[in-house]
Structure 1
Amino acid sequence: MSMWTSLEPASATVDPGASTRVRLRLRNTGDIVDEYRFEPVGDIAPWTTVEPGTLRLYPGTTGTVELTFAPPRTSDAAAGSNAYAVRITPTEHPEATTVPEGNLTITPFTEVRAELVPPTVKGRFRGRPRLAVDNLGNTKLTASISGSDNGDHLSYDIHPGSVQIEPGRAAFVRATLKPRQIIWFGSKEQRPYSLAVQRSGVKSQSVEGTYVQRGFLPRWLATFLGVFMALAITFVMLWLAYKPQVRSAATEKLQEAGISTLPAPTPSLSVAPSPDPVQESAPPQAQQTPENGGSGGAGGGGAVASPKATKKKATGPLPASGVVLRNVTTKKCADIPGYDKGQPTGPVREFVCDGTSRDNQLWDLEVRGKGGGPEKSDLFQIRNVKDQLCMDLPDYGAKPPRTGVFEFQCDGTTADNQLWWLDSQESGHYWIRNYSSNHLCLDVSGYSTGGDDTPLTIYFCSNTDDQEWDIVHPT
């Protein structure tokens, strides 16, 4: 061998991303001038430089070159002890090549990068993001994964919950986000959240993301359903309230000519005559004669007046059969919707007076309590001739003003609220008053307006509204 080498120091330490130097001394032990070439070899050769790259020495002289080690701060620079070597080749004697070796220790470092893929997820019941964890350090990474959000709106199902990643490798963690409350209607809401990568002994690294929670039903569908329900209810109400407008052309012509087929006679109350007061003489008193023949006084007789005869309360046209009840204000008659028999709980309304058996406007006024009403008036029930049902109010007992009148099976007792009594007015017409409901009057809904198919109700009695009725026998 024509050379001698020495590494100073033989072992060195370097941090990734930094550099360190080692001196290589070389002596020419031959007898001729020679030139030596230096070439680093081994795993860390890419990070090793030699200056100068060649050295020319005379026999017996010594030269020095510097080895510079600069490992990068990446996972390629494996932490720990790494052997290195330098190949020295003499130009004159290539067969005498030598390779001195040394040891370089690279210190460990950790670097983690985490990323949500995608950063924003959407869903009604869950979201499924993935967390990519990259180990950019030069040592194995062990970490656990957890999730959190402000307000605790979400629950987290993370798999796997912990990872071990080799240097330069990456791992994917699957996360399932579930909202704790479902949005049934309305617009979407954003739920910010974070997934944390926790390593032992260091502060956790958080990655922010957003979960967009959608409503179960979109807002436009909720609006559509609301409008649809409103239209459906309106249709049903119109269908139930509809009554075909079937009229006789002859009747209309007569009305245009000012002729009515139902004359409205003015009912009158028959009042019993009141007898004149009669005076009756008192029986003469017997004369008394004193014992000693004294004269006695004659007793006087006085006249005693008999009590006045009281008026009998007129009951009007009761009972009555096959009559129509015509409202004085609206000129309409009490009617059952349609032309056939009514149904229990079916409404009672007013309509253009017909007075024939083809319609259902004929009523029987049947006395059920002779003299049982106020001022000895008769209590009666109002029975429809066609369906034999009676005018009634809901349930039993007194009902408030504006309660609708309908038909029901006849009861005829004061236990129900089907009994009425007539209250004659100075105009010659009648109030028809309900006995059970604080004597409220049979009324046409509204104030003096009426009209076809207007419901009949009970209301406070008045001569200025539409509560006066005529009891008419059709001719």
Structure 2
Amino acid sequence: MWTSLEPTATTVEPGSTASVRLRVRNTGDTVEEYRLQVVGAAAGWARVQPDVLRLYPGAEGTAQVEFAPPRTSDAQAGPTPFGVRVQPRETPHTVDVAEGQVTVGPFTELRTELLPLVVRGRLRAKASVAVDNLGNQQLTASFSGRENGDELEVESEPGSVQVAPGRAAFADLSIKPGAVSWVGGTVKRPFTVSVLRAGVPEPVELRGTYVQPSFIPRWAMAVFSVLFALGLAFAVMWFNHKPAMSTQAKEKVGEQRELPQTDGMKKAPSPSPSASEEKEEPKEPANEAKPPESGGGGGGGGGDKKDDKPKGPKLRTIRSAEGSGWYLETKRGAKADGTYVGQNPELTDEFGKNQKWILHHYPETDTYSLEAANAPGAIMDLKVGTNIVQIFHAPPENIKSGQLPDNQKWKLESQPNGLTHIVGVGNGECVVDMQNDTSAITWKCDDRKSMGWTISDWPE
């Protein structure tokens, strides 16, 4: 038996065909049947036509060996040896193999995929790039991330991979936002990963989306807004609530304080009374309260003592005996809590009823509250912790019943000279005429004229 390949080497491109001729001669003296078969790496995509030859002694036959490599990674690029086995039927032990070589042309095919397409994270996110080599030769792929401005930073690990034919490789992506989103809901930011194949100028671009949720979601902001509004409303109600307060301050025993002197309060020398002055009786101002009369002898037969303390809701004026006689008033007719009680040398209605007072008497304690006629419900009040006289509103039922703190109640004590001391129940001090329009104050009671007051009906 004699065999020969013509030619012994050939070239074929994936997806196309090529062939060589096999010659077989029967050198025996009997008729023989020869079975033909391609062996080697190319056997999967090669065939012989026909695959059986019947030859008489001395006869020669031919067959075509056809190669058709697929366009897949199964037919790797480069030279591939092959053989055609020729096996006689009658004498199978005399097998012959005709050898040759086929060279498969290269081709490249790449498939890439971003996994997943949408990633999510507040500070960073992870993704992967898969590279499948569908060609018949090894390839190298490199990765680069393209951010949307400074909004994202995309890094790959490793930066490049080598992929064998029919294999896949992966690269890990780390995606970081340029800024942290604290509030405002969810932000979506696009990004791009480029896969560049060696020897190919145009990269393959993979596009994904980075979803960045805020640290504080929208529903939390809504809840916080509601809680803040409730807290603000509670704070307003709390600070607008003005509970009645009383002072427990007491005068320190043995301590004498010197009353500050003003131009209208300077002490004058006490001259000895002249005879004419002794005979002259003091004139009583019209409509002013008279001092209490003693109940001793002196005609009239009545022993009852008159009570000159004003009662009822009549409007009164309160005038100092110091100097020209200044009138107590709410400063410039103001009605707000904390308005100072000042003095005015003139009786005027420029600011309404700010010089009129309503005296409420509480017989069980023989005390009074002094209500400003221009500010109903606002009564004369000793500012807590100080000796400043102001007005402060109190509930009408408390004014009527006398359920008031001590710094809002006063005693009207008649003096031998016919004047009245206005004494604070809270501190036991007398209201002093400071001869100015700033503020009246209280001081340790003595016989000064600036502490003496005349309480009269409001003149018609």
Same-fold call, TM cutoff 0.5: yes
The structure 2 residue matched to 1:341, chosen from 384, 400, 403, is 384
In structure 2, stretches of 5+ residues that fail to align are 246-310, 325-343, 349-354, 358-366, 411-423, 425-429, 445-457
Partner of 1:208: 207
Distance 2:241 2:196 in 1: 74
Partner of 2:116: 118
Given the alignment of the two structures, is residue 358 of structure 1 paired with residue 406 of structure 2, yes or no?
Answer: yes
Distance 2:145 2:194 in 1: 6
Contact preservation (8 Å) 1:14, 1:20: yes
Distance 1:83 1:108 in 2: 16
Distance 1:72 1:33 in 2: 38
1:267 is displaced (CA, Å) by 6.7
Partner of 2:229: 230
Map residues 148-187 of structure 1 onto 2, 5 A cutoff.
148-187=146-185
1:69 is displaced (CA, Å) by 1.1
1:243 is displaced (CA, Å) by 3.5
Name the SS of the counterpart of 1:173 in structure 2: strand
Given the alignment of the two structures, is residue 62 of structure 1 paired with residue 113 of structure 2, yes or no?
Answer: no
1:151 is displaced (CA, Å) by 3.7
Distance 2:241 2:118 in 1: 56
Map residues 2-401 of structure 1 onto 2, 5 A cutoff.
3-202=1-200, 203-244=202-243, 261-265=312-316, 314-316=345-347, 326-334=371-379, 341=384, 349-352=392-395, 354=399, 358-360=406-408, 366-368=432-434, 370=435, 378-383=436-441
Deviating more after overlay: 153-162 vs 347-356: 347-356
1:17 is displaced (CA, Å) by 2.4
Map residues 451-470 of structure 1 onto 2, 5 A cutoff.
none
Contact preservation (8 Å) 1:360, 1:385: no
Contact preservation (8 Å) 2:37, 2:48: yes
Partner of 1:286: none
TM-score (norm 2): 0.61
For residues 292-314 of structure 1, what are the alpha-carbon distances to aligned partners after superposition, in whole Å with 9 as ceiling and x for unaligned?
Answer: xxxxxxxxxxxxxxxxxxxxx94
TM-score (norm 1): 0.60
- CA RMSD across the alignment: 3.7
Distance 2:188 2:74 in 1: 41
Percent identical residues: 40
Distance 1:344 1:14 in 2: 116
Distance 2:368 2:439 in 1: 13
1:236 is displaced (CA, Å) by 2.2
For residues 179-238 of structure 1, what are the alpha-carbon distances to aligned partners after superposition, in whole Å with 9 as ceiling and x for unaligned?
Answer: 112111122122222211112331111122221111111111111112212212221222
Distance 1:158 1:343 in 2: 75
1:381 is displaced (CA, Å) by 1.2
Amino acid corresponding to residue 29 of structure 1 in structure 2: T
1:61 is displaced (CA, Å) by 2.3
Contact preservation (8 Å) 2:29, 2:57: yes
Q: How many residues align?
A: 322
Contact preservation (8 Å) 2:433, 2:440: no
Amino acid corresponding to residue 231 of structure 1 in structure 2: L
Distance 1:136 1:428, change over 3 A: farther
Distance 1:143 1:152 in 2: 26
Name the SS of the counterpart of 2:70 in structure 1: coil
Contact preservation (8 Å) 1:132, 1:171: yes
1:351 is displaced (CA, Å) by 2.8
Distance 1:54 1:385 in 2: 141
Distance 1:56 1:229, change over 3 A: same
For residues 263-316 of structure 1, what are the alpha-carbon distances to aligned partners after superposition, in whole Å with 9 as ceiling and x for unaligned?
Answer: 32257999x9xxxxxxxxxxxxxxxxxxxxxxxxxxxxxxxxxxxxxxxx9435
Distance 2:190 2:27 in 1: 75
Contact preservation (8 Å) 2:31, 2:54: yes
For residues 25-77 of structure 1, what are the alpha-carbon distances to aligned partners after superposition, in whole Å with 9 as ceiling and x for unaligned?
Answer: 22222222211100111111111111111011222222211111122222222
In structure 1, stretches of 5+ residues that fail to align are 247-259, 273-312, 371-377, 387-426, 430-475
For residues 374-414 of structure 1, what are the alpha-carbon distances to aligned partners after superposition, in whole Å with 9 as ceiling and x for unaligned?
Answer: xxxx434134799xxxxxxxxxxxxxxxxxxxxxxxxxxxx
Contact preservation (8 Å) 2:20, 2:66: yes
Moved over 3 A (4+): 149-152, 243-246, 266-270, 313-318, 322-330, 342-345, 352-357, 361-368, 382-386
1:245 is displaced (CA, Å) by 8.0
1:240 is displaced (CA, Å) by 2.5
Name the SS of the counterpart of 1:94 in structure 2: coil
1:365 is displaced (CA, Å) by 6.4
Amino acid corresponding to residue 346 of structure 2 in structure 1: T
1:88 is displaced (CA, Å) by 0.4
